[in-house]
Structure 1
């Protein structure tokens, strides 16, 4: 039976595993940089991010304690969301007290901390 020395084998495995990291850490000085393309096919299909615009909606429920409002809304183009009924957090929780269920509103949505959020809401 032949014996294989473990130490040289481990050294070879470690060297092979770290080689790509060594190449990646090399300097990029002098390389021409161009704007990158979107990171995902979905982002590429969506194109550039659109500015938030008011969306027609109807208030279905208001939860002052959680600061959320449930809205039946049209498509939210800047977030790539279709028309639906959904609960959203409101950036200004205190403003929710000025509305009631059934109100027709124009709502501006945007991402706040990565979540779709009501950033402005006006009665129609």
Structure 2
């Protein structure tokens, strides 16, 4: 009986852990090609987005924090983390 309870508890824990979404933490290199301050969006020519399973390309991202606009300039090389938030590709971290 005790073995069954331990097994059940382990199964529940495994299911709970697998249901939690993974948080992207891999920084990707890119170059800012366009900034749309009004829409709080930035176009980035980037390397492969490993955490999102996307190949290298140029695409538009939302910014998680509008203050990020103050640190960006067209032609600037950046490293960033992108996540899918509410279905939208969003830059969540810059360095």
TM over 0.5: yes
* 8 Å contact kept, 1:64–1:97: no
Bigger Cα Rg = 1
Post-superposition Cα deviations, 1:47-99, rounded to whole Å, max 9, x if no partner, equal x9574210000000011100000000001111111100001000012221221
Q: TM-score, normalised by structure 2?
A: 0.72
Gaps of at least 5 residues in structure 2 are 1-7, 16-20
The Cα RMSD (Å) is 2.1
Structure of greater relative contact order (alpha carbons < 8 Å, 6+ residues apart): 2
Specify every segment of 5 or more residues in structure 1 that has no aligned partner in the other structure, as ranges.
Answer: 1-31, 36-47
The size of the alignment, in residue pairs, is 79
SS of residue matched to 1:53: coil
Runs of 4 or more off by more than 6 Å in structure 1?
none
TM-score normalised by length of structure 1: 0.57
Distance 1:49 1:76 in 2: 14
